[in-house]
Amino acid sequence: ETGVTQSPTHLIKTRGQQVTLRCSSQSGHNTVSWYQQALGQGPQFIFQYYREEENGRGNFPPRFSGLQFPNYSSELNVNALELDDSALYLCASSLSLSNTEAFFGQGTRLTVV
């Protein structure tokens, strides 16, 4: 158990809808990163939050947005869902920006139909 929890674990949405995924980071960790893992691929970096501010973004469109709260938990929001958004969404927390060890949650499996 990493202490990182994500909710929900599974989700089915219709194309065009919006979705919010949640992540509770490990205690004391102020850095949260989100990754998208399509079937048969490695995880792809979406963005990172540090102390409630976005700290870097991968090659994802603006309809992917995020938020980090004062308790360092985080949300990933995706608007106008597309079929290709179907994937495992992983949240990882780290002790700080300079700490390279990332602890992953179990992921949210999103299916867009």
Partner 1 sequence: RKEVEQDPGPFNVPEGATVAFNCTYSNSASQSFFWYRQDCRKEPKLLMSVYSSGNEDGRFTAQLNRASQYISLLIRDSKLSDSATYLCVVIPGGGNKLTFGTGTQLKVEL
Q: How far is the CB of 81 from partner 1 (least distance, A)?
A: 21
34 vs 85 by CB, closer to partner 1: 34
Q: Does 74 bind partner 1 (CB under 8 A)?
A: no
Q: Does 107 bind partner 1 (CB under 8 A)?
A: yes
**How many CA atoms, within 13 angstroms, populate the side-chain half-sphere of residue 19?**
24
Q: Does 66 bind partner 1 (CB under 8 A)?
A: no
**How many CA atoms, within 13 angstroms, populate the side-chain half-sphere of residue 73?**
10
Residue 108: CB atoms within 10 Å: 21
Structure tokens at 49: 């939050």
Please list, in sequence order, all residues whose beta carbon lies within 8 angstroms of the beta carbon of residue 65, skipping any fewer than 6 positions away. 76, 77, 78, 79
Which span sits near partner 1 by CB under 8 A: 14-22, 55-63, 64-72, 75-83?
A: 55-63
Q: Does 24 bind partner 1 (CB under 8 A)?
A: no
Amino acid at 51: R
Interaction site with partner 1 (CB under 8 A) = 2, 31, 33, 35, 40-45, 48, 55-56, 58, 88, 90, 92, 94, 97-102, 104-107, 109
